[in-house]
Amino acid sequence: MTSAAPLPLRWRTATVIARRPETSQVATLVLDVPGWPGHRAGQHVDLRLTAADGYQAQRSYSIASANDGTAVAITVERVADGEVSPFLLDEVRISDDLELRGPIGAYFVWNPEAGNPLLLIAGGSGVAPLMSILRARAQAPDPPAARLLYSSRDEASIIYRDELDRMATATGGPGILYTLTRERPTVWSGALGRIDRAMLERVGFPPTDEPLAFVCGPTPFVEQVAADLVALGYPGERIRTERFGPTGAVG
């Protein structure tokens, strides 16, 4: 990342090539970025919107896709009264151009060569960079064991549900446990309630297996989960956190 004469990350023009609704509040935009250098699972991009009078707005979005040539997928959640997310969800059409810089990040990233068991813990749209990790893992030749614990408000809010379910049933696929905090469906095989220490102990790997944890979600969620993992014996340097919020990667 750092060298004697670092190249600045330049703004690139990206073209929207696909749009996938994920839930009523969330959609994925697939962008084609000519010259894209590839990225590591967990990295993000900075997006820049420019109005006709020159006014600009920038936001960060996690990359949800694994490396796929010049295609980069971002998953956008609607922030009520937001300046950028409603525009991306309601106004942007296929073949529109957007500017971005990236890939950015060298901390909340997963290296496929790392043999540590992977514990991924998602709150809401915090699943986006963890999906990038799971997709990269699915392409890796000899990946470590992985488990995803994914907390959503209700069943209809689970992002990537079909793809995650397919992953879970594939040979060598990750273990996946969904938990719902505000709904009790009549038919439900997942967990109920907020992620707590007991749930983490049940789903997680023992600290002696030297697991690597990636935690992403709203700030209070991440604070609580990270503190619980510390209490369970996970060393701080093996707990990577990314806090999402209206000002973070989902604005």
Nearest to 163 by CA among 73, 226, 44, 248: 73
- Check: CB of residue 174 under 8 Å from CB of residue 147: yes
3-class SS string, 167-208: HHHCCCCCEEEEEECCCCCCCCCCEECCCCHHHHHHHCCCHH
CB of 51 to other proteins, least distance (A): 5
Nearer residue to other proteins within complex by CB, 86 or 173:
86
CB of 84 to other proteins, least distance (A): 8
Angle (CA) 65-38-34 rounded to 5° is 95
- The percent helix, strand, coil of the chain (3-state, each to 5) is 25, 35, 45
Residues in contact with other proteins by CB under 8 A are 1-2, 6-9, 13, 46, 48-52, 54-60, 83, 87, 91-92, 96-99, 101, 104-108, 219, 223, 226-227, 229-230, 236-237, 239-241, 243, 245-249, 251
Nearer residue to other proteins within complex by CB, 114 or 170:
114
CB of 120 to other proteins, least distance (A): 16
Nearer residue to other proteins within complex by CB, 54 or 69:
54
CB of 108 to other proteins, least distance (A): 8
Nearer residue to other proteins within complex by CB, 137 or 243:
243
